[in-house]
Amino acid sequence: MGGAEAAAVVEAASTAAEAAEDGEDGRMEGWLYLIRSNRLGLQTSRKRYFVLEDSALRCFKAAPAPSSSSSKREDPVRSAVIDSCIRVTDNGRESVHRSIFYIFTLYNASNHYDQLKLGARSSEEAARWIRCLMESALKSPRKDEHVVACSHRRWQAFRLSRRSNRMHSIDWTILSSSHNDPMASDVIAPSAWTIFGCTNGLRLFTEAKDGGSRGKYWDDHPAIMAVGVVDANSEDIFQTLMSLGQSRSEWDFCLREGRVVEHLDGHSDIIHKKLRGDWLPWGMRKRDLLLRRYWRREDDGTYVILYHSVFHNRCSPEKGYIRACLKSGGYVISPVSQGRQSVVKHMLAIDWKFWKSYLLTSSAKYITIRMLGRVAALRELFRAKNGNCACMEFSSGELTRDTGLPQGGNERRKIEMQSANECGRLEGPVEGLQGGSNRQLSSTGSLVQLNDATDEFFDVPDESEYDQREAMWSSDESTHAVDQRHAKLSSAAVFVRKLHDLAVQKRGYVDLQGAADADNAPCYYGHTLPKDSSCTIPSSWSMTDPTTFLIRGESYLIDRQKIKAENTLMQMVGADWIKSDKREDDLAGRPGGLVQKYAAQGGSKFFFIVNIQVPGSTTYSLALYYMMDTPLEKVPLLERFVNGDDTFRNSRFKLIPYISKGSWIVKQSVGKKACLVGQALEINYFRGSNYLELGVDIGSSTVARGVVSLVLGYLNNLVIEMAFLVQGNTQEELPEFLLGTCRLNYLDASKAVSLDEC
Q: How many CB atoms lie within 10 A of CB 203?
A: 15
Residue 638 phi/psi, 5° resolution? -65, -40
- Rounded distance between C-alpha atoms, residue 116 and residue 59, angstroms: 12
Three-state SS at 94: strand
- Rounded distance between C-alpha atoms, residue 485 and residue 108, angstroms: 10
Q: Is the peptide bond before 735 cis (omega within 30 degrees of 0)?
A: yes
Question: With helix as H, strand as E and coil as C, how does 403-418 read?
Answer: CCCCCCCEEEEECCCC
Contacts of 357 (CB under 8 A, 6+ apart): none
- Rounded distance between C-alpha atoms, residue 689 and residue 710, angstroms: 39
Residue 648: exposure state from Cβ atoms within 10 A (0-12, 13-18, ≥19): middle
Contacts of 576 (CB under 8 A, 6+ apart): 523, 525, 526, 527, 528, 529, 587, 611, 621, 622, 623, 625, 753
E-state strands within 524-561: 540-542, 550-552
| DSSP annotation of 20 | H
Task: Give the CA angle between residues 325, 493, 476 to the nearest 5°.
Answer: 60
Cα R_g (the chain), whole angstroms: 26
- Rounded distance between C-alpha atoms, residue 128 and residue 210, angstroms: 39
Cα–Cα distances in angstroms (integers) from residue 728 to residues 22, 536, 554, 600, in the given order: 27, 35, 10, 33
Work out the angle between the directed axes of helices 234-242 and 374-384 (0-180°, nearest 10): 120
- Rounded distance between C-alpha atoms, residue 177 and residue 268, angstroms: 26
Per-residue burial over 572-586, b if 16 or more Cβ lie within 10 Å, else e, is: bbbbbbbbbeeebbb
Q: How many CB atoms lie within 10 A of CB 264?
A: 24
The helix (H) or strand (E) run that includes residue 123 is helix 123-138
Contact present, 462 and 97 (Cβ < 8 Å):
no
Q: What pLDDT score does 510 carry? A: 53
Nearest to 104 by CA among 34, 163, 206: 34
Cα–Cα distances in angstroms (integers) from residue 257 to residues 9, 401, 402, in the given order: 42, 12, 11
- Rounded distance between C-alpha atoms, residue 686 and residue 613, angstroms: 14
What is the dihedral angle through the alpha carbons of 225, 226, 231, 233, rounded to the nearest 10 degrees? Answer: -10
The helix (H) or strand (E) run that includes residue 460 is none
Question: With helix as H, strand as E and coil as C, how does 290-352 read?
Answer: EEEEEEEECCCCCEEEEEEEEEECCCCCCCCCEECEEEEEEEEEEEEHHHCEEEEEEEEEEEC
Q: How many CB atoms lie within 10 A of CB 431?
A: 11
Task: Give the CA angle between residues 401, 407, 413 to the nearest 5°.
Answer: 30
Q: What pLDDT score does 108 carry? A: 81
* Chain-centre distance for alpha carbon 232: 23
pTM, two decimals, is 0.70
Alpha helices in 447-564 (DSSP H): 556-559
The whole-number mean pLDDT for each consecutive block of 10 residues of the chain, a chain of 758 residues, reads 43 41 66 87 88 88 70 71 83 86 86 84 91 79 41 35 32 38 75 90 85 46 91 94 92 95 91 93 90 89 92 92 93 93 95 67 82 96 72 38 37 34 36 35 47 48 43 38 38 40 42 40 77 90 96 94 95 95 93 91 92 88 96 95 93 94 84 87 94 91 62 78 96 96 93 80
Q: What pLDDT score does 365 carry? A: 87
Contacts of 391 (CB under 8 A, 6+ apart): 385
Q: How many CB atoms lie within 10 A of CB 138?
A: 21
Contact present, 419 and 396 (Cβ < 8 Å):
no
Three-state SS at 134: helix
Amino acid at 684: N
- Rounded distance between C-alpha atoms, residue 666 and residue 708, angstroms: 10
Cα–Cα distances in angstroms (integers) from residue 562 to residues 185, 490, 555, in the given order: 10, 21, 9
